[in-house]
Amino acid sequence: MPERLEGKVAVVTGAGGGIGKCAAELFAAEGARVVVADVATTAAEKVAGSIVESGGAAVAVGVDVSESAQVEAMAEAAISHFGALHVIFNNAGIFPADDGGVTDTPESTWERVMEVNLKGVWLGCRAAVPRMEASGGGSIVNVASFVALMGAATAQIAYTASKGGVLSMTREIAVEYARRGIRANAICPGPIETPLLAELLADPARRQRRLVHIPMGRFGRAEEIAKAALFLASEESSFMTGSALVVDGGITAAYVTPE
């Protein structure tokens, strides 16, 4: 079979680890030339180096996605190194430990979550769109969350609000650019077994509080979200735009879960 991203240039944010790392490696394996972007530059360089050693094409870029000049430089790196930009996977996000309920989340935490999780996605889209148009079209894949679709008593108010914003913004961009060769879709992951989640759920009771609501009985894996991103980035999803692809182990479908 031909590689699904053959001839494409992709930017992946938050690519120094977790879902972003898996996506960058998978995109490269499927033929894409990849801009590996992360605020942790050393981690990005390690991932890019591994891709190159495996025979792929990649370049590392350090970026704070909440800073417009850095995001513009990230998108321009795709042009300067590879001559085009066809895919952006806006994956970078944060989930601070003190992001809690509406009355106890610090204002500074709310602001930082919005800067990274929502503004960062907007800046990524803003930087990518004109370059995608110049490259003949492209696919935007934004990471939202299943919490954008349902509420939780285990509060994370800033994170939830930011992901709801990502979902709405993705639909808006999809409709605006639907006849200009650019698609935009969102992924709504359930809880994924990443280092960030492992740190937050180190307490067994806190972990079980969430596991009980997952019909499949486990957390997701980073590579499962990366594969969903690959589908949305590729021509396999060519008639999809403005969609929210839910990858949550059945959480949003469940009323009572299996014993």
* 209-243 tens-digit pLDDT: 888 999 999 999 999 999 999 999 999 999 999 99
Tell me what pLDDT residue 204 has. Answer: 80
Specify the length of the chain in residues: 259
Mean of the per-residue pLDDT values of the chain: 95
Spatial contact of 90 and 143, defined as CB atoms under 8 Å apart: yes
Q: How far apart are CA 203 and CA 35, in angstroms?
A: 36
Active site residues: 159
88 has a pLDDT exceeding 80: yes
Buried b (16+ CB within 10 A) or exposed e, 167-186: bebbbebbeebeeeebbbbb
Tell me what pLDDT residue 1 has. Answer: 58
Domains of the chain by range and CATH?
A: 9-246 (3.40.50.720)
In sequence order, the 6+-apart residues with CB closer than 8 A to the CB of 96 are 109, 112, 113, 158
Tell me what pLDDT residue 243 has. Answer: 98
If we measure between CA atoms, which residue out of 142, 149, 196 comes closest to residue 23? 142
If we measure between CA atoms, which residue out of 65, 144, 159, 146 comes closest to residue 113? 159
Pairing status of strand 57-62 against strand 33-38: parallel
In sequence order, the 6+-apart residues with CB closer than 8 A to the CB of 237 are 139, 183, 185, 231
pLDDT digits (tens, 9 = 90+) for 181-204: 999 999 999 999 877 677 666 778
206 has a pLDDT exceeding 90: no
Tell me what pLDDT residue 201 has. Answer: 67
Q: How far apart are CA 142 and CA 76, in angstroms?
A: 19
Name the helix (H) or strand (E) containing 170.
Answer: helix 157-176
pLDDT digits (tens, 9 = 90+) for 111-144: 999 999 999 999 999 999 999 999 999 999 999 9
Q: How far apart are CA 243 and CA 230, in angstroms?
A: 15
Tell me what pLDDT residue 79 has. Answer: 98
